[in-house]
Amino acid sequence: MKTGLIIILTIPMLAALLPAQSQKTQAMLMALQANGKQTISYDWKQKTTVYRKGNPGAIKVDEIRFDATGRPQRMTLVQPEQKRMGPLMARKAAHVKESVEEVMQLAGRYANPQEIAQALRRGEVWEGPGSLKVRSRSVILQSDEVTIAVNTSSLLPARIDIQTRHKGSPVVIAIDYDQLPGGPSMMTRMTVRIPGEDIVVNVESYDFMRLAAGIVH
């Protein structure tokens, strides 16, 4: 799951009938851009667990950091175990693995700040007492639905819920963010549900470390 954080944001002019929404949207986009600049000075670990029919299966642990160009680099620390199986089971396992990998690539796109910015620009802003949400459709795929719950203090995403599809089958994605002490807001958990395959993938990020100034990856 790649989340490039070098973003050039262009704020489109919105209809003059919605000046308040335009200002709020612009403020959220600026907060997202500033947060991305802070994020690239951190590295962290990411644990991915695949559950099939409620049973935990493959576990993978990666370390993620950014190179000098601001692109995320992933180093695998723990690989899933390779199990011996017959030809029929091996083909089935390969099909499931391919499906999960494709869905996770799609999920990674929704977590990409550039796509989040797109959802913010195109979405409807809903404000209530102490709450702020943005709802957007057709962000990556036709008729997908993206709902962003925004932290009213930082104006950054606190949670993103996505309803989308993969090869015609529904996929449900939930992404949670937490503010690091004295640092940026980071994705700490992603849950991806693939009902057609009875699969749930949990991605947990932890051990966030701020790198010393001047380090070149």
Q: How confident is the model at residue 216 (pLDDT cuts 50, 70, 90)?
A: very low
Contacting residues for 150 by C-beta, under 8 A, at least 6 apart: 28, 132, 133, 134, 156, 157, 158
Q: Is residue 7 part of a domain?
A: no
Q: Is residue 15 part of a domain?
A: no
Q: Is residue 110 part of a domain?
A: yes
Q: Is residue 128 part of a domain?
A: yes
Residue 49's beta-bridge partner residues? 59, 202
Res. 39: pLDDT tops 60: yes
Q: Which amino acid is at 34?
A: A
Share of the chain above pLDDT 90, in %: 66
pLDDT attached to residue 108: 94
Q: What is the mean pLDDT of the chain?
A: 86
Res. 42: pLDDT tops 70: yes
The residue among 81 and 32 whose pLDDT is bigger is 32
Mean pLDDT of 79-103: 78
Res. 27: pLDDT tops 50: yes
pLDDT attached to residue 90: 67
Mean pLDDT of 26-33: 96
Tokens coding 12: 């489109």
Look at residues 83, 84, 80 and name the one whose alpha carbon lies nearest to residue 59: 80
Q: Is residue 6 part of a domain?
A: no
Mean pLDDT of 105-114: 95
Q: Is residue 156 part of a domain?
A: yes
Contacting residues for 129 by C-beta, under 8 A, at least 6 apart: none
Q: Is residue 14 part of a domain?
A: no
Residue 85, helix vs strand vs coil: coil
CA distance 174 to 121: 20
- Determine contact, residues 45/207, Cβ cutoff 8 Å: yes
- What is the crossing angle of helices 113-122 and 19-39, to 10°? 170
Q: Which domain holds residue 175?
A: 43-210
Res. 6: pLDDT tops 50: no
Tokens coding 25: 């949207």
The residue among 171 and 83 whose pLDDT is bigger is 171
Res. 127: pLDDT tops 80: yes
Share of the chain above pLDDT 70, in %: 86
How many domains does the chain fold into? 1
